[in-house]
Structure 1
Amino acid sequence: MDLSQKTAENAEFMIEAIKKKLRMASGAAFKASHFNTDLYEDLKDIYEMVASKNNFSISEIEAITTELGRLRKV
């Protein structure tokens, strides 16, 4: 998958991967259609950081969730 392309499918893939890796209970709140495509690179940065780590502290999960919330459309 070429994540350098700003597509809805790529955003959906990254969001689903983040939710799965973080085992997010409130994952339904994060859907690709809720995200601003102008901030695609920020989403990709979060995805790459999450993909690179095996374990997360609670404060890291909270920070990632907060950042994802910032990327949502208002």
Structure 2
Amino acid sequence: MELSNPTQENVIFMIEQIKEKLRMVNVDAMQADQFNAEKYEDLLYLYNMVMKRESFSLSEMNAIVLELGELRK
């Protein structure tokens, strides 16, 4: 998927991929429609970082979830 354009479709794609990669238990707490393209560059950076990794420690997962919380509308 081409992620260079800050579209809502790309935001939704990245959030869904992050949730899947982290195997988030409470996926309802992180709805893709809670994010917009306003903070697209930050979300893209986080997405790329998450997708590069094979696994995460508990503290890393907590930090990622906190960062996602900061990026919500």
TM-score (norm 2): 0.93
Identity %: 53
Q: Which runs of 5+ in 1 are unaligned?
A: none
TM-score, normalised with respect to structure 1: 0.92
Residue 38 of structure 1 corresponds to which residue in structure 2? 38
Aligned residues: 73
Matches within 5 A, 1:58-73: 58-73=58-73
Tell me the C-alpha RMSD between the 2 structures.
0.9
Aligned to 1:11: 11
Larger deviation: 51-60 or 33-42?
Answer: 33-42
Query: Counterpart of 1:25 in 2: which secondary structure?
Result: coil
Gaps in structure 2 of 5+ consecutive residues: none
